[in-house]
């Protein structure tokens, strides 16, 4: 909320940086709490790194500047290490990255939830909007975020039997259960029988669009 309102985050960041690691782990014992916490961390720190610390887009994902419980994380470690259970960034979601640090693996979710891809915002025009996620409402919030994003990013052409949809599906194919998994998701969220349709992935707009809040 402080990031959205452009108020000082110094005190909050100091609390995160100095929180005891055992307390952090104790507060994040289930995937519900892990996902809500780390999605919010990712979205907030992307804005902070770009707007306040002026980190260049070429290094923003790999630079370690997120200080939590005496550890320093990168955005890639939060997304691919913790939220995607240490998946390799460029493996379409099928291969693990064995080189993630032990602390990252210790904090990772137990199961990958494909819906996080419709909640994480990397400051690009094609990214989902930013929302604040809470453990007690996470399931509903992620369902709403997924449905809303797919409705806005998917076009169905019945004459050509084609569905044009987000590039996120292709980049993280394994997270979604492959092509058949994507078809099931589209059928479920958009109430359309996509089995006989060809999937076409739209170009992703990397034009910067910060402060895109839901």
Tell me how far apart the alpha carbons of residues 169 and 153 are, in angstroms, rounded to a whole number: 11
Query: What is the band of 1 on the pLDDT scale with cuts at 50, 70, 90?
Result: low
Tell me how far apart the alpha carbons of residues 191 and 23 are, in angstroms, rounded to a whole number: 43
pLDDT at 2 over 70: no
Contact present, 115 and 143 (Cβ < 8 Å): yes
Q: Which residues make Cβ contacts (< 8 Å) with residue 212, sequence separation at least 6?
A: 121, 123, 127, 129, 130
Tell me how far apart the alpha carbons of residues 167 and 165 are, in angstroms, rounded to a whole number: 7
Contact present, 31 and 111 (Cβ < 8 Å): yes
Pull the structure tokens for residue 160: 């050509």
pLDDT at 198 over 70: yes
pLDDT for the residue numbered 194: 81
């Amino acid at each position: 909320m402080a990031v959205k309102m452009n108020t000082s985050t110094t005190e909050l960041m100091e609390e995160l940086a100095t929180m005891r690691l055992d307390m952090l782990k104790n507060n994040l014992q289930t995937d519900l709490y892990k996902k809500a916490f780390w999605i919010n961390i990712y979205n907030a720190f992307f804005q902070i790194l770009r707007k306040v610390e002026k980190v260049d887009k070429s290094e923003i994902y790999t630079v370690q500047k997120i200080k939590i419980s005496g550890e320093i994380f990168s955005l890639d470690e939060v997304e691919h290490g913790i939220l995607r259970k240490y998946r390799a960034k460029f493996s379409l979601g099928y291969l693990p990255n064995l080189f993630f640090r032990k602390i990252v693996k210790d904090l990772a979710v137990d199961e990958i939830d494909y819906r996080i891809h419709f909640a994480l915002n990397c400051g690009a025009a094609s990214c989902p909007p930013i929302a604040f996620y809470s453990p007690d409402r996470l399931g509903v919030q992620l369902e709403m975020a997924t449905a809303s994003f797919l409705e806005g990013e998917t076009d169905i052409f019945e004459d050509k039997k084609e569905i044009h949809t987000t590039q996120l599906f292709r980049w993280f194919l394994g997270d979604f259960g492959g092509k058949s998994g994507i078809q099931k998701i589209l059928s479920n969220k958009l109430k359309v029988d996509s089995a006989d349709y060809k999937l076409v992935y739209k170009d992703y707009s990397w034009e910067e669009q910060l402060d895109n809040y839901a």
